[in-house]
Amino acid sequence: MTNNHYGIHSPPNFIIDGLQFSRGATTSMDNHDGLSSRRELLKRSGSVGSAAVLVALAGCTGDTNSGDGGGGDDGGGSDTTGSSGDGDGEAEYAPIEFWSKEQQAERRQVISPIVDEFDQADVQAEFFDEDNIPEELSAARAAGDLPNILQVQAQTIQNLGSEDLLSTESAQAVMESIGMDDLRDGALDFMSTPEGDHFAVPHDGWVQGIWYRKSKFDELGLPEPTTWENIREAAEALHDPDNNQYGIGLGTENANFTRQAFTPFAISNGARVFNEDGEIVFDSPEMVEALEYYVDLAQNYGHPGKHVYDATRQTYVNENSHMIMWSSYIIDDLLEAGMADDTAFAPYVRRETDASYGQVTGFGITASGDEAAQRTAEAFTEYMFQPDQYVEWLHMAPGGMQSVRQSVSESDAYQDNEVLNEWEDTVATISSALDNVQRFGFVNGQSIPAFGQIASQLIVAEAVVRVYEGEDAETVASEQAEAMRQAIE
């Protein structure tokens, strides 16, 4: 039941039509009808009929069909266009389209009924592999036919928002309805605009931290592995290679997982890829120190050889390691292995500051020229965040998908799940880690699209690997910084 999220949720980026989007690495796309299914829906819909109007705002808005109030009953007991209820017959709602990146068959089976139960208008749900969303968005934008709502990752949200394709007003309206104070600050930061507004509504996230075996830590009297000092102390105490016991499991292969595992160590030390002016600063003393520290852990206390996520997880399950860096998606694997009761989670790495690595997805509402479609999109998004619908969605991957609504995280309905019950307080710890999530591609909450070129070429991971192989950290940092500058020219 392993979820290979390292290839899905934090992929490299690439550019289409001047927009930089996230590209997945390992998933295959299920067959779907794409945009054509939406057009077929609109052709068939009795509520829209020949009165349908497609409005393109600056060549890049979503479908803005509005009904004339006639027809409308699809036999299912609800109209595809609603009435304002004030007697003037003006349509309040309109058919809309919702895109989701949750394309796996088992997830579509959960989401589709939730969508169908929305009774204020017809919502056509389309599911895409994150791999293919850039191409689909590019085609939709060229046709003036963007979806009304997208559920996608933070970097895609940021790039769409920077092109003025998302409505900050709609996002704000939904968040105020949900309750701004109920949304975790860290998740909100990933959706924020340079002006302090929000491009989208944060929906869920996953976080990465250090998982460790409580019995071993208790036996050796070790403190929680959060600070650099405590992590090194634990790695040294746990390391016994003669008995096939290794102090820590980290990424050491030239892959995205290595960059992800390294990120919180670097950021906790004040090391960044970009400064606030967008300049490359990978060759800073703080980054050199972080490279040296991380590689020292991996070389002296890690399992021999180069490793990515799968091998790292397996060393813990096989009890060859008792401390590894991994994401919240591991909890189902550990439950199956009977290790939930004896495993704890350290949600951040601390030196100068607390830092976690993770990903946040959001619901972005496109800037439509049709008031009825815009109103429907807001109503549908609010509906998807209501406790019943929201919990059902999160339970598709309990513990992996973390709630960004604090009230939901603490609710009986959310916690009433076989997987989550086994982890008890750990779930709350994981959820709270969303407040500390930081990434190289974001500075002060703002996305730097150029980082996509750096990530796609694995330049950060390559720096770790070069030092791991014995090269001087200062030299490597300088040379990799120059490679980054060339990559974004």
Q: Taking the chain (489 residues) in consecutive chunks of 10 residues, what is each chunk's mean pLDDT?
A: 40 36 33 34 32 29 31 34 46 90 95 97 92 83 92 87 92 97 91 90 95 97 98 98 96 92 97 95 98 97 85 93 94 92 94 93 91 96 98 94 91 90 82 84 82 89 97 98 95
217 and 336 in a common domain = yes
Q: Kindly write down the DSSP assignment for every residue of 48-85, as one continuous string.
A: TGGG-----STT--B------SSS-B-SSSSBSS-B-S
Query: Which residues, other chains included, contact 53 with Cβ-Cβ below 8 Å and sequence gap of 6+?
Result: 64, 65, 66, 370
Is 51 inside any structural domain? yes
Burial of residue 153 (number of CB atoms within 10 Å: 0-12, 13-18, 19+): buried
What per-residue confidence (pLDDT) applies to 324? Answer: 97
Residue 465: CATH number of its domain: 3.40.190.10
How many domains, in total, are found in the chain? 2
Residues 211 and 233 in one domain: yes
Identify any residues that bridge with 328 across adjacent strands, giving them in sequence order: none
DSSP E strands: which ranges in 27-156? Answer: 96-100, 123-127, 149-153
Residues 46 and 173 in one domain: yes
Among 165, 223, 156, 222, residue whose Cα is nearest residue 191:
156
Q: How far is CA 410 from the centre of its chain?
A: 21
Residue 134's pLDDT is 77
- Which residue in the block uniquely carries the two structure tokens 């900050």? 168
Asked which of 398, 421, 444 is the last residue of a domain, the reply is 421
The domain boundary, picked from 401, 421, 441, lies at: 421
Instruction: With H, G, I as helix, E, B as strand and everything else as coil, classify residue 237.
Output: helix
Residue 298: domain span:
206-358+424-487
Does some domain include residue 15?
Answer: no
Q: Would you state the pLDDT for residue 60?
A: 32
Predicted confidence at residue 428, as pLDDT, reads 78
Question: What's the CA gap between 440 and 460, in Å, rounded?
Answer: 10
Element (H, E) at 262: helix 256-268
Residue 270 burial (CB count, 10 A)? 16
Pairing of strands 323-327, 201-213: antiparallel
**Residue 347, domain member (yes or no):** yes
Indicate whether 346 and 384 sit together in one domain. Answer: no
**Using an 8 Å Cβ cutoff, are 45 and 96 in contact?**
no
Q: Report which secondary-structure segment, H or E, holds 403.
A: strand 402-403
The answer to whether the CB of 383 falls within 8 A of the CB of 98 is no
* 212 and 200 inside one domain: no
Task: For residues 38 and 185, state if they share a domain.
Answer: yes
Crossing angle of helices 285-301/459-468, nearest 10°? 60
Task: Identify the pLDDT of residue 236.
Answer: 98
b or e along 446-461 (b: 16 or more beta carbons within 10 Å of the residue's beta carbon)? bbbbbbbbbbbebbbb
The reply to whether 174 and 316 lie within a common domain is: no
Q: How far apart are the C-alpha atoms of 37 and 43, rounded to whole Å?
A: 10
Amino acid at 111: I
Q: Examine the domain organization and report whether 90 and 221 are in the same domain.
A: no
Structure tokens, 436:
């500390």
Q: Which two tokens stand for residue 119?
A: 């009774």
Domain match, 183 and 218 both: no
CA distance 188 to 203: 10
d(CA 481, CA 230): 30
Local structure of residue 321 (DSSP, 8 states):
B
207: part of which helix (H) or strand (E)? strand 201-213
The reply to whether 50 falls in a domain is yes
Alpha carbon distance 134, 136 (integer Å): 5
Nearest-10 Cα torsion for 386, 402, 205, 10: -140
pLDDT (0 to 100) of residue 456: 82
Residues 310, 413, single domain; the answer is no
How remote is the C-alpha of 132 from its chain's centroid? 16
166 and 58, same structural domain? Answer: yes
Residue 11 placed within a domain = no
Tell which of 402, 421, 440 closes a domain. Answer: 421
DSSP state at residue 483? H
Assess if residue 342 is contained within a domain: yes
Is there a domain that residue 22 lies in?
Answer: no
Other CB atoms within 10 A of residue 289 CB:
20
**Within this chain, do residues 296 and 445 fall inside the same structural domain, yes or no?**
yes
| Short-list 93, 437, 125, CA closest to 260 | 437
Domain membership of residue 1 (yes or no) is no
* Cβ neighbour number for residue 209 with a 10 Å cutoff: 26
